[in-house]
Structure 1
Amino acid sequence: MLNKKAFAVTKTGDIKMSGKFLARASALSLAFILAACGGDDNSTPLAGGQNQQGDNGSPGSGDNTNGGVDTDGDGTADTTIGSLRISASPVQMGTSNTSASEILVFARDADNILAENIPVKFSVDSDATLQVARSTTDETGTAKALLSTRQNPKNRPATVKATVGGIEASITVNITGTTLALDGPTNISVGSSGTYTATLLDSEGNGVPLEIISIDSPLPNITTLNTDDEGEASFALEPSAAGTYPVEILAFSGESVLSASLEISVSDSNFQFTSPGPGSEVPIDSASNLTFAWSENNLGVSNEPITISLTRGLIDNSLSYQANTDANGEIATTISSDSAGPATIVARSETSGLETSMIFEFVAITPDSLVVQASQTQVKPQEQSKITAVVRDANNNLVKGQRVQFNIQQGYGELSTPDAITSSLGRASTVFTAGNSGSGAEQTIITATLASDNTIQDQALLTVTDGALRLSIGTGNTLAEENSATYLKEWVVFVSDANGQPVENAEVELTVLPSRYFKGFWQPGICGTGTEPNCWVANETASCPAEDVNRNGKLDSGEDVNASGELEPTNEAVAVANSSASTEDGSYGFALKYPQSACRWTEVTVQAKVNVPGGSEYSETATTTLSCLASDLSNLDVTPPAINGGSRYGQSTSCLDAD
């Protein structure tokens, strides 16, 4: 007997097959052909090949335990599913964010005809992700989903399940390809330091950031590290006794655990730099002596080739250097640099495998100029302003170790210290506290003079205000997420008179300028009363003052401290206001809007100014670090908003480079 839905009789008496039935029959025939032939290289066969499939198992816990499915929405099961099959292509996928496997589900009715319009429920375990492309079977009787492993690079199996009318089918896809490697010298001497690097890469060779690396070794060392943007984590080992020592590193845990190891041979050789010493300061613009010595049993190891490399400057006026030890096991040469900053020097013996390294600093010693900056050029009586002098040489190198003398040349107030020594950043500071009365515009003058040369000096001009208006600026503890990329922080300015009464319709001018930036990266940490890592915390590696010393927004000579070719930090935040004047209660509301990736890594100074008739100007400032939403840091399974896993300005420990 003919199925009336599948066939129709024409006026001429011919019997025609319906389009849907034809499509189903064609798909079923194709499935049989593929099953028999195994399919070509590009097909997804129902059995065999590089793909995998699963048959339906026992009925699940759905409403229709007998496979009945309601396809027309009338609440009555009108199709009985006879079988359910599932396939994956490929059955072994990578761990990168771009890796994927196509999941196909084939539904057939009780007569083994591919069933159309059947809703399929997908699920997956092992923290994998399914993107359902087609949740209802089409005319070929198939539903489709895409399996991926975004933000989880662990090697692991993932089981995909499909359920239809109480019938369930499943398939396991192996997610694999993440590797862990350990590199470093395998031969070092007692007292020398060896640097070792753990590298965690996904299946496409991309670095896996912010993962914990555990270190196990009888040599004294830290026990855990976090990988950086390149998936690397470095640590140093400095053995105190000869012997052979294993070093093992671990990433992840359970069935996803990865390990790598090295065996380090420590000799009782003396293999090290003897001059300059670790942490020494070496003057720039002239050659300084460098001495290396290798001895065993107090006897020099002679005529052995040694390769020496340096991260900053030159060795014997060359970028690379190799020489043989003399009769005493020593090598003497020179190092030089025309730029100031930290440097790492490494000596290596290719024949023995021994290696040693040392960190020192090239410093500028001949000052040529001095620039003074005040943190606030307008203060009220008894308020403070930080006065900072920056000393440079003729080539704009920051000069370390210079004494700067501060003096109030005009005005009332006091300084916290009359002098200070410049740091590696060429900066020396004091704090000015204004007196009890105001001064005219820029009538408080503070002079900074170089102690070694009084002709090198500069001045900071301050205004101590004592006017009728007062400004107060502040914010609360609530942060809004405007969208997935932007935070919004509400602020308020209050304008009042000398008696504390609100001033309405005062025109308020806002500026938001960066004052400091931080280097570092996010890592798992402990928040609250927990004992195990339960949140993301910032590992701050460096705190650097803004390079735009004169705050004109332009890269002027001498401001590019880290040699990046740009001013750091950039203007991360903007002030957004709905009006330009204070309201009846003297308040003026605005918001700071900034990218979520800037949170924690940029400090800004917010300034509000009010001009009044007669030419007087009043201002108030507040300095704040751009904050993060707590919920964005409380889930260790979700990477916090960041550029390259942390600060966009790098992760090194120095403000003198852009790394």
Structure 2
Amino acid sequence: MALVRSVFYIVCCMVLIGCGGGGGGLSDGGTTPDPTPEPIKINLSLSDSKVSNGNPLEVTAIVTQGGVPVATKLVTFTLDKSDIAIFDKGISSVATDSAGKAVVTLLAGNKADGGTIVATTDTGESSETLAFNSAGDGNVIVGPQIDEIAIFANTLQLASSGAQEIALTVIAKNNKNILIPGADISFSSDSGELLISKDDNEVPSSITNDKGQATAILSTQNNPKNRTITVTASNGSISDEINIFVVGTTVQFSGSSSLAFNDDSTYIINVLDSDSEGVYGAQVSLSLANDPATGAANLSFPSTVTTNEEGQAFIQVTGVTGGTNTIIASAMGATASKAISVQADSFVFTGFNNGDGVAVNPSNGNVTPPDVLLSDTATVTLSWNRSGTPVANGTRVDFSTTRGTLSSSSGVINNGQVSTTLTSNDAGKAIVTFTGSDGNIQLSNQLAFEFVAETVDRLIAQASPNSIGPDGQTSTISVVARDPNGNLVKNKTIVFSLSDTTGGQISPAEAITDSKGSASTVFKSSTGSAQNNITITATVKDQPSIIDTVNLTVADRELFIAIGTGNEIEDNETSYTKRFVAFVTDADSNPVKNQKLTVSSVPDAYYKGRWLPLYDGDEFIRWVTAGEIGTHTPDEHNRDTALYLTSQPPTRCLNEDINLNGILDPGEDTNNSGTLTPGNVISSLATVSVENDNTTQVEAVTDNEGKVVIELVYAQSFGGWVDINLIVSGKVGGTESIAKTTYTLPNSAQDINSEDISPPTASIGMSGPFGEHNSCNGWQ
């Protein structure tokens, strides 16, 4: 029986297996397939069709399946062009939220163009491709993220002549003050020219090096206009800026102070750059200071005039109605004025003889008085007419001059003319003034010319720098020519010759000395040389026995020094403190720490003049330094700029200590003051790294960043009146590296921007600390 039960059990199980395990019910014995899943879809949209710096785009992808939002689906957005736009904060992949939505933000890139964007899921589904445009005005950060930028300049003043360049240095740090290499710094300026150089590996200097520094060079090559250049350094939204002041261009306005009714006279306008070279093609705007409708004289003249190749413009001015008025001449950011009275009298220069066979009539248009040799005697003649008829014989005219000696201090009219002669023992510009008085009539006129030294007694040659690297680096060789009395000698041809076995070159081979007795050439290096093994000789061409030499070294410098400063100045009670920073690197741009340096400050030049207030209509602008003021005194109720500005700029005089030995040597006391001028105006020269304090030279040691902070302290009364040379040098292995910047000692803004506060002075009145007369040959 047990066997039967077992067999029955087995048969039942087999039947169940054959029926499919009991899961089929009343089916035909087959299977039913699962339904086909709905496809995943991506709907892509843009908030706008164009991305710009002020209009970022929001890109939205909505992921659905069968009309139902799909959450936690990773969506990646892809651009076809990486330079027209970037993803905000670098986020290009986002997981969908509960609504199936993934959103990213596009920022404008650096290139203006059209492009496309597409969205793709992590399972391979893609959206349609959408097109958009980019304005290309984005501030895209390239390279590492930085948190702080500081920009420095080796000087804040740029000579308008274009002969100078300013080295700009940017330091990039993160929020932990760690220097950041590889950051791309964007340099920009609102005028001038910026140069970004490249190293041997074609890496631009705008990329920060291993010490976190990026560099650029600023110049003003074809624009001598006085102005402020704002330079900005930026990386993304991080930026810093510095103001560079283009200075040195002046306008000079000369001619008679009086005109007869319906008579005309020629006036000369000179536009000069910082090197006293004429500015060609400068447009001079001319206007009257006072409206003739108020009773002032009406004068007829052109509204604009353009300077010739010598920087001169000649205008004819006609007196229309009686009275006095002032003509304002403005060009290149500089202004000069000329006060003129209109009456029955004509008071003009009609003769000038330089004593060397050249005679001209200054009243004729486009005539400039010729130079006068120190060995010659100049003759100046003036004609005085009233209503077209010479004034009475015996009418007195007084003479004065800013340079030289007059044969007499006055003369009398004879047949409508009066003359005087003058000589000079010292070279330079002279301004002769004739002043006539006849009853209530007061007349004056000025004539400018130059006395010129003719014999060179000594040449002084200097190289800057005297040690340069190979492969095209340059050094400027400058000479100054002086006669036996120390006068600067103009119009002498200097011949430069080179003794060099390394293949270097000099250019030009000849140069003519200017009014400052200066001429120069440039040496361009080839390969390295032994110490001081390159010799350049300067010779006066027509006096071959007068020579001087300089020696140069061409070598791979082991130290590179850069000097910089910022816009700030510390205003103490009676002094200013100005800070500079010097950076020292090796040939691989690595900071050199614990490097011993020598820091010195040497006066380069000083200025003579006085402080004058500058107005724009009735609005006070600031106090400015100006040359010797004219005879016209401004009316308290007429604060026009023209009445306050002299036609002469401050007179720049070179440091009398020619050989920089601090000793008054024969021939150095140009102004006969009995001392060296300006002397050492720096009261304290100190460096933070070394505990020392001196007035001319101190030692310093670089910190871990290869940096030294330098502090100059000087009396406030010297601000605006002295140029100093700040020199930093260091030696490694017997090779010296040197850097120099020339800097006009500044004033704080608060001391010159208030009409109620007079600028700092060292004497009674508004004169500068070295006198105000426009001659370097007198202490006045």
TM-score bracket, shorter-length normalisation:
0.5 to 0.7
Q: Determine the structure 2 residue equivalent to 1:218.
A: 297
- How many pairs align? 423
TM-score by length of 1: 0.55
8 Å contact from structure 2 (residues 595, 701) kept in 1? yes
Given the alignment of the two structures, is residue 335 of structure 1 paired with residue 431 of structure 2, yes or no?
no
2:747 maps to: 628
Match of 1:208 in 2: none
Once the 2 structures are TM-superposed, how far is the Cα of residue 653 of structure 1 from its aligned partner? 4.8
Q: Secondary structure of the residue that 2:717 maps to in structure 1?
A: helix
Measured in 1, the distance between the counterparts of 2:469 and 2:746 equals 28
CA distance in 2, matches of 1:300, 1:628: 52
Residue of structure 2 equivalent to 1:567: 676
Contact 1:412 1:444 in 2 (8 A): no
Distance 1:412 1:486, change over 3 A: farther
Does residue 617 of structure 1 match 2:704? no
What's 1:121 paired with? Answer: none
Question: Secondary structure, in 3 states, of the residue corresponding to 2:659?
Answer: coil
CA–CA distance in structure 2, aligned partners of residues 505 and 263 of structure 1: 65
Q: Does structure 1 retain, via aligned residues, the 8 Å contact 2:608–2:651?
A: yes
For residues 501-580 of structure 1, what are the structure 2 equivalents within 5 Å? Answer: 501-524=590-613, 532-539=619-626, 541-573=650-682, 574-577=684-687, 578-579=689-690, 580=700
Residue matched to 1:49? none
Shift of 1:351: 4.7
AA matched with 1:575: L
**2:669 counterpart letter in structure 1:** D
Does the C-alpha gap of structure 1 residues 551 and 242 become closer, same or farther in structure 2, counting only changes over 3 Å?
Answer: same
State the distance in 1 between where 2:260 and 2:666 align: 45
Say which SS state the counterpart of residue 441 (structure 1) adopts.
Answer: coil
The question of whether the paired residues in 1 share the 8 Å contact of 2:347 and 2:382 is answered with no
Distance across 2 between alignment mates of 1:333 and 1:585: 67
Q: 2:717 aligns with which of 574, 597, 600?
A: 597
**Secondary structure, in 3 states, of the residue corresponding to 1:509?**
strand
Match of 2:323 in 1: 245
Cα 1:294/1:263, change in 2 over 3 Å: closer
CA distance in 1, matches of 2:615, 2:435: 41
Q: 1:502 to 1:480 in 2, by over 3 A?
A: same
Q: What displacement does 1:576 show? A: 0.6
Hey, what's the Cα distance between the residues in 2 that align with 1:364 and 1:263?
Answer: 34
Q: Which residue of 1 aligns with 2:480?
A: 390
User: What are the residue-to-residue correspondences of 1:331-480 with 2, within 5 Å?
Assistant: 331=418, 334-351=421-438, 353=441, 355-381=444-470, 382-410=472-500, 412-433=503-524, 435-467=525-557, 469-477=558-566, 479-480=568-569
| Cα shift at 1:550 | 1.8
Corresponding residue number in structure 2 for 1:648: 769
Shift of 1:474: 2.5
Counterparts of 1:583 and 1:285, CA distance in 2: 59
1:129-183 deviation per Cα after TM superposition (whole angstroms, max 9, x unaligned): xxxxxxxxxxxxxxxxxxxxxxxxxxxxxxxxxxxxxxxxxxxxxxxxxxxxxxx
| CA pair 501-268 structure 1, distance change in 2 beyond 3 A | closer
Q: Which stretches in structure 1 are left out of the alignment for 5+ residues?
A: 1-183, 195-213, 223-236, 250-261
Give secondary structure in 1 for the equivalent of 2:497. Answer: strand
* Preserved CA contact (<8 Å) 1:242 1:267: no
Question: Pairwise mapping of residues 15-94 of structure 1 onto structure 2 (< 5 A)?
Answer: none
User: Would you say the 8 A contact 1:576–1:591 is kept in 2?
Assistant: yes
CA contact (8 A) 2:257 2:340 kept: no
Q: Deviations over 1:366-417 (max 9, x none)?
A: 3333222334333334444332222222333222222222233336544453
Q: What are structure 2's unaligned runs of at least 5 residues?
A: 1-255, 268-288, 302-314, 328-338, 354-361, 363-367, 627-648, 691-699
Kept in 2, the 8 Å contact 1:192–1:272? The answer is: no
- Report if aligned partners of 1:369, 1:391 keep a CA contact under 8 Å in 2: yes
Instruction: Output aligned runs, 1:175-186, within 5 Å.
Output: none
Aligned equivalents of 1:337, 1:455: Cα separation in 2: 26
TM-score under structure 2 length normalisation: 0.47
Mark the CA change 1:590 to 1:367 in structure 2 (over 3 Å): closer, same or farther.
closer
C-alpha distance in 1, partners of 2:420/2:743? 49
- Structure 2 partner of 1:141: none
Judging changes above 3 Å, is the alpha-carbon distance between structure 1 residues 324 and 489 closer, same or farther for their aligned structure 2 residues? closer
Secondary structure of the residue aligned to 2:322 is strand
Q: Would you say the 8 A contact 1:522–1:646 is kept in 2? A: yes
Could you tell me how far 1:315 is from its partner in structure 2? 3.9
8 Å CA contact retained: 1:514, 1:571: yes
Q: Which residue pairs with 1:274 in the alignment?
A: 351
Amino acid across the alignment from 1:649 = F
Q: Structure 1 CA distance, aligned partners of 2:622 and 2:381? A: 48
SS in 1 for 2:532: coil
Amino acid at match of 1:621: K
Separation in structure 2 between the aligned mates of residue 584 and residue 486 of structure 1, nearest angstrom:
31
The residue identity in structure 2 corresponding to 1:446 is I
AA aligned opposite 2:769: R
Alignment of 1:108-127 (within 5 A): none
Q: Is the 8 A contact 2:352 2:378 kept in 1?
A: no
User: In the alignment, is the contact (CA less than 8 A) between 1:563 and 1:657 conserved in 2?
Assistant: yes
- Give distance in 1, aligned partners of 2:322 and 2:618: 35
1:503 partner letter = V
For residue 575 of structure 1, give the secondary structure of its aligned residue in structure 2.
strand
Compared CA separation, residues 413 and 599, structure 1 to 2 (3 A): farther
Task: Please give the secondary structure, in 2, of the residue aligned with 1:240.
Answer: strand
**Closer, same or farther in 2 for the Cα pair 1:355/1:406, shift >3 Å?**
same
Q: Deviation digits for residues 564-595 of structure 1, max 9, x if unmatched?
A: 44333332234212424333443333322222
Distance 1:432 1:186 in 2: 52
Which runs of at least 4 in structure 1 moved beyond 6 Å after TM superposition? 184-189, 296-299
Partner Cα distance (1:329, 1:575) in 2? 61
Offset at residue 286 of structure 1 (A): 3.2
Note the C-alpha offset of 1:323. 4.5
C-alpha distance 244-478 of structure 1, shift in aligned 2 (>3 A): closer
The structure with the larger Rg is 2
Q: What are the Cα deviations for residues 294-347 of structure 1, in whole angstroms up to 9, with x where unaligned?
A: 45677666743444423243444xx4343451xx54456643222223333344
Q: Which digits, 9 at most, give the CA deviation of each residue in 1:512-548, with x for residues without a partner? A: 1122334455555589xx9954444555524444332
C-alpha RMSD of the superposition = 4.2
